[in-house]
Amino acid sequence: MMLAEFLLLLVLPLITLSSLWLRYYRKIMLEALSFPGTSYTENSVHLMPSQSITFKVDGKCVLVVNGVSSWVTMRVNGGPPQRIFKVRLLNTKGIVEVKNESKVFQVSLLVRCES
């Protein structure tokens, strides 16, 4: 009987924390995607390992990274590299370079900018 109570004390917080994480992750992503406003342009790109892409931004943009390794490196106007995990909000003008630093996994990049 003591083992069952101990397992219940271990499993119940895990279930609660997991459900809260999923709920708030979904809210964070929905709010991030609404950052550029209602009138926006959207591009989706698959970056292969060690591949980079350059694009022009003018105003509010959101970058959403999906994949096994959801880390990419970004440079804005040739500045210092910045590591991005999952989502990044931008409000700038200029050239953005995004590079997949992984040597094994590809990532999907969603770029949504105000028009």
Whether the per-residue pLDDT at 46 is higher than 80: the answer is yes
Rounded Cα distance, 97 and 75, in Å: 5
pLDDT digits (tens, 9 = 90+) for 74-85: 999 999 999 999
Q: Nearest to residue 64, comparing CAs of 100, 34, 35, 88?
A: 88
Q: Which residues of 17-48 are buried (b: 16+ CB within 10 A; e: fewer)?
A: eeeeeeeeeeeeeeebeebbeeebeeeeeebe
Contact residues for 55 (Cβ-Cβ < 8 A; gap 6+):
43, 95, 96, 98, 111
How much is the average pLDDT of 39-66? 95
**Degrees, nearest 5: CA angle 23-86-31:** 50
Q: Nearest to residue 76, comparing CAs of 60, 57, 59, 63?
A: 57
Whether the per-residue pLDDT at 56 is higher than 80: the answer is yes
75 vs 48, 82, 103, CA distance in Å? 18, 6, 19
pLDDT exceeding 90 applies to what percent of the chain?
81
